[in-house]
């Protein structure tokens, strides 16, 4: 993580890729663990979405102009990003398997909901860092993440 709120667009994209990889690992573990067909199906779809987003960010990173310098966010904004990244809003892939072992279907959905919401917040901040040509792609992923939240909420209601 960059110090004092200094992040380059490349660093933000690397963090986004790591986030998508960790999300995929969690959803894959949830598919293996859950006995609830609706949760298994939803997590399978969410995991595939994470892989698609990872590829989008990889492509975006390959097309970044080299002259993009780190941008300093003053005061509270830098602290906000540092806090969000410090919470790591998703466990490492290794932790995902152990994490889901003690989770009910509702717990999996609650964790997924928190992860997706935190991801949306991160991507809104990331959007400020990428070149203008990549903003539309980030906006598209934000819209997809919002659809994830909606589907998770519907699954939670169906299980209640």
Size of the chain in residues = 160
Judge whether 106 and 37 are in contact, CB under 8 Å.
no
Residue 40's pLDDT is 96
Report phi then psi at 90, rounded to 5: -160, 140
Residue 118's pLDDT is 87
CA distance 64 to 134: 9
CA distance 100 to 29: 7
Residue 51's pLDDT is 95
Residue 26's pLDDT is 93
If one counts every other C-beta atom within 10 angstroms of the C-beta of residue 74, the result is: 8
What fold is seen in the domain 3-61+71-159? Ferritin (1.20.1260)
CA distance 160 to 156: 6
Q: What is the pLDDT of residues 35-70, one digit of tens each?
A: 999 999 999 999 999 999 999 999 988 877 665 554
CA distance 125 to 128: 6
Q: What is the helix (H) or strand (E) element at residue 7, kind and residue range? A: strand 6-7
The alpha-helical segments, DSSP class H, found in 88-131 are 93-101, 105-127
Query: Token pair of 131, please?
Result: 């070149």
Residue 74's pLDDT is 53
Residue 30's pLDDT is 95
CA distance 69 to 6: 9
If one counts every other C-beta atom within 10 angstroms of the C-beta of residue 121, the result is: 15
If one counts every other C-beta atom within 10 angstroms of the C-beta of residue 47, the result is: 19
- Please identify every stretch of the chain with a pLDDT value under 70, giving residue numbers as ranges: 1-8, 65-91, 93
Query: Token pair of 15, please?
Result: 């963090």
Residue extents of the structural domains in the chain: 3-61+71-159
Residue 133's pLDDT is 78
């Amino acid at each position: 993580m960059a110090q004092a709120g200094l992040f380059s667009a490349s660093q933000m994209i690397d963090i986004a890729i790591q986030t998508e990889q960790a999300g995929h690992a969690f959803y894959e573990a949830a598919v293996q663990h859950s006995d609830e067909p609706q949760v298994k199906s939803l997590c399978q779809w969410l995991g595939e979405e994470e892989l698609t987003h990872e590829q989008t960010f990889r492509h975006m990173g390959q097309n970044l102009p080299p002259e993009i310098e780190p941008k300093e966010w003053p005061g509270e904004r830098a602290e906000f990003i540092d806090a969000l990244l410090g919470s790591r809003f998703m466990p490492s892939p290794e932790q995902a398997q152990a994490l889901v072992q003690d989770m009910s279907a509702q717990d999996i959905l609650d964790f997924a909901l928190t992860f997706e919401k935190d991801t949306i917040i991160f991507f809104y901040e990331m959007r400020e860092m990428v070149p203008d040509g990549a903003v539309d792609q980030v906006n598209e992923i934000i819209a997809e993440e919002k659809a994830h939240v909606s589907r998770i909420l519907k699954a939670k209601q169906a299980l209640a």
